[in-house]
Chain A
Amino acid sequence: MSLLGEGLLDLAWGLGLVGMIIAFYAGWRKEARWAEVARRIGLVMAPLLSLTVLILEIALLTNDFRLVYVTQVSRQTQPLFLKITALWGGQNGSLLFWSWLMSLFLFAAMARADRFPRDLLPYMTGVLLLTQTFFLLLNRFFANPFETFPVPPADGRGLNPLLRHPGMIAHPPLLYLGFVGFTVPYAITIAALLAGRRDEGWLRLLRRWTLVAWLFLSLGLLVGARWAYDVLGWGGYWGWDPVENAALLPWLTGTAFLHSVMVQERRGMLKVWTALLIILTYALVILGTFITRTGVIASVHAFARSAIGVPFLIYVGLVLVGSLMLLAARWDVLRAENRMESWLSRETFFLLNNWLFLGIAFAVFWGTFYPMFSELLFNEKLTVGPPYYNQVTGPMFAALYLLMGVIPFIRWRRTPGALLRFSIGSSALAALGAGALARAMGVQHPWALLGFGLCAFAGWGTLLDYALGVRARQRATGEPWPLALARLVARNPRRYGGYLVHLGVILIGIGVIGSQFYQRETQRTLGLGESLAFGGYRLVYQGIRQYTPATEPDVVVTEAWVRAYDRSGRLLADLYPYVLQYDTGETLTPPALRATLKEDLYLLLSGWVEGGNRATFKVYINPMVSWIWIGGMVLILGTLVAVWPTPVPLPAIAGLERRPEEQPIPAS
């Protein structure tokens, strides 16, 4: 088994290396036949790595404890489902999983090779194969999932308890899909730079690939937040943990890229900047994988420390230096075609947006890595926790909401003042109204009031843009408004999908402000039948029980039973917070949750004495957290709308779609 797996890995990295060399040669010499060879090698990677993954899965399913990796993430009694997901439960397997997902993206790109201009394709193949080969070499020589024991143990240690939750099973694949997804736009950009492309035709290839990667990364972040909320039991969903930050960083630069690429498409400006952003995003993706997989900055996720650190850093360094040198060499090709014409133009506002996103990314990067710098340079370890991030990034996020409210009314090149005065005026009124309403409902904190006001400002502006569009359509066509709305969105999915994403972000903002400023908590010890009153709830401790589930014999579950009543004594819910104690010594305290749109009642069992006669509970009241998840769904929906294929046909210009040199390379 191990020999077969290693053999396949050897074959894959060998082929990848050869393919990469062929691809760059084909690009350099403009050899169509060699380009086709490289393309086919790219196609072969997916089946080859699928087979490799399958072999590791078989080893996991058949309890092949000769393999070191299997003993690290599985055990005899592990449920079937968790044996399957154990593939990405440890470092070496998850790197193989990364490579496999990457090969699927590579396959998708190569299968649609006829869509790429012929001069770009070989370079693109080369860059993709370079990434693929790097990870395969890592997998083969530094983090080999097929490494065997000389004397196999009888049983394994089992999957890390934190990873046995459905959220954690979905979170890594989604995040990784987002990560590997960004290698395609990076490859397209580098290919365009290498080929010295002066036109912007290749940008249209970039957009959908970037949006798909962004979609997965967003989903990964959202599912990760939900998992933290449901499993970690500290009352929150985002802790500014280094590993969370590592996933957020490429999301921030990727989002900046999605905005700046619009300026490049429309106005032919910011070309160097846009290329820089995608290079940065790719480097952060590699860095993110490095941080998550090596635990270089110790964190709650640091279950993976190993010797892959040095190759990772070398690779990130080479990528950055190489890409930036290429960018410098192509500076003249990337000169802007147009100039800024007015301060009040979309171009300016997108630049502001980029400044804020990069500013946030820099602040997050700085906070994440500062403890490492201080340890290396001054030999003193520090903690840079949530207060830093909230204080530094908070105002910048607020400014982004301001931009979101204004941008629908800003035009390319220049904006008529009258339009702006009307729309901004109405948005400002909406913000004031929302602020007054929040004040009347008891919100007192000035920053929270400002935050809600900004959300209303941004929300009103976005909705007004929809309303104006629908009304214009209705006037022109006489359609009823739902149809007009649907057609409006279908006609310009990119714009209205984008604004739907904005609406999702606004809803998330409302949830974050509510839960950040108004979270309340208490901790009490109760005897059986005793109750505690907190935040309008009365919680009665009814009992406790302890058992070991048949599916997971290595865990002892202690589950308390608490009844929640409201002020009038109406029973709201039976809550069952529990503690999981694993025989490895780890414990987990997942909460019991009663979620409403207004607030979440989040109950933890933090301890018990006297055989359960007395138990300690921690209660959180988290206002408006549900809006984060609703906003997340709206965000995903908006991205899907934006990424949906447009029905607008390509213009029928002679020789455009089938220019001789853009003909798909014949299959034979």
Chain B
Amino acid sequence: MRRSVVLGLAICVLLMVGVLMTGAPAQAQPPTPVVPDDEVNRVAKNLYCPVCENVPLDVCDTPACIQWKEEIRAMLAEGRSEAEIIDFFVTRYGMRVLAVPPPQGIGLGVWLIPAIGLPAAGLWLAFRLARWRRPSPASEPVSEPASDEAVRALDRWIREHW
């Protein structure tokens, strides 16, 4: 309650003086946007500007990113599709503006290596397991490598209790 009173007073003062705010950067879009912010963000979500690395455009509020978003808004207002807008930025700044490179050219490596490597590792593991499982007579008598009785007792203890 007290907070809202203080806040109310603060707002009155602000509105009367009005000077304080003039220095604040106008980060918002024009009052009545032709294209709603949500439409702009839907496209911007999939783009990354070259400066703010690893921050998607829709949540980035640097001046450059705000400008990009206005460009998107203008293009959407012209009736251009999302794919066309993304193509426009790729042509201008290169593939790095995409959230993930497409699976072609040097972008192929990102996808290809895990796509081949992980199943291959799985296959190798299955193969090893199958071979490992087959008991080979040569190594059947399991030799307890610890010669020391006490050490063996400790091993047993660990196996029982842990």
* Contacts from A to B (Cβ < 8 Å): 198-201, 203-204, 207, 233-235, 239, 241-242, 262, 265-266, 298-300, 302, 333, 337-343, 348, 351-352, 355, 358-359, 362-363, 366-367, 370-371, 373-374, 378, 380-388, 392, 396, 494, 521-525, 542-547, 556, 558, 561, 574, 579, 581, 587, 589, 606-616, 646, 648, 650-651, 653-656, 659
Contact = CB atoms under 8 A, between A and B. Distances in A.
A199 B144 CA distance: 9
Given A199-B154, A355-B122, A612-B21, A522 B38 contact: yes
Contacts of B33: 525
Contacts of A204: 154, 158, 162
Contacts of B151: 199, 201
Contacts of A606: 27-28, 61
Nearest first, the 6 A-B pairs at minimum CB distance are A607-B27, A607-B28, A523-B37, A234-B59, A611-B21, A385-B99
Contacts of A337: 142-145
B101 A543 contact: no
B14 A545 contact: yes
Main secondary structure of the interface of A (DSSP, over half): mixed
Contacts of B139: 339
Interface in B1-36: 3-4, 7-8, 10-11, 14-15, 18, 20-22, 24-29, 31, 33, 36
Contacts of B61: 587, 589, 606-607
A384 B53 CA distance: 10
B14 A616 contact: no
B121 A265 contact: no
Q: Which of B20, B101, B125, B162 has the most CB of A within 10 A?
A: B162
A388 B110 contact: yes
B96 A383 contact: yes
B92 interface: no
Contact of B114 (A366, A378, A494, A556): A366
A546 B24 contact: yes
Given A204-B154, A611-B15, 9 more contacts: A199-B145, A339-B132, A355-B121, A363-B118, A378-B106, A380-B96, A382-B95, A382-B106, A543-B11
A359 B118 contact: yes
B24 A608 contact: yes
A380 B95 contact: yes
Nearest to B159: A266
A368 to B, nearest CB: 11
Contacts of A355: 121-122, 125
B129 interface: yes
A653 B99 contact: no
Contacts of B41: 521, 523
A383 B18 contact: no
Contacts of B125: 351-352, 355
Given A341-B133, A384-B100, A523 B38 contact: yes
A602 B101 CA distance: 30
Contact of A383 (B20, B54, B161): B54
A384 B101 contact: yes
Contacts of B146: 198-199
Contact of B31 (A234, A392, A614): A614
B130 to A, nearest CB: 9
B110 to A, nearest CB: 5
A159 B43 CA distance: 35
A362 B159 contact: no
B54 A241 contact: yes
Nearest to B131: A340
A228 to B, nearest CB: 12
A134 to B, nearest CB: 29
Contacts of B135: 339
A341 B155 CA distance: 21
B59 A233 contact: yes
B11 A545 contact: yes
A416 to B, nearest CB: 18
B133 A340 contact: yes
A127 B162 CA distance: 27
Contacts of B15: 611-613
B86 interface: no
Contacts of A362: 114, 117-118
B83 interface: no
Contacts of A545: 7, 10-11, 14
A656 B150 contact: yes
Given A265-B159, A545-B14, A340 B26 contact: no
A288 to B, nearest CB: 17
A225 to B, nearest CB: 16
B153 interface: yes
Contacts of B26: 607-609
A385 B113 contact: no
A543 B48 contact: no
A338 B143 CA distance: 9
A200 B155 contact: yes
A306 to B, nearest CB: 18
B8 A235 contact: no
A662 to B, nearest CB: 9
Contact of A653 (B25, B56, B94, B153): B153
B31 A609 contact: yes
A582 to B, nearest CB: 13
A646 B97 CA distance: 54
Contact of B54 (A265, A343, A385, A574): A385
A382 B53 CA distance: 10
B37 A525 contact: yes
B114 A544 contact: no
Contacts of A366: 110, 113-114
Given A384-B100, A521-B41, A611 B10 contact: no
A243 B152 CA distance: 44
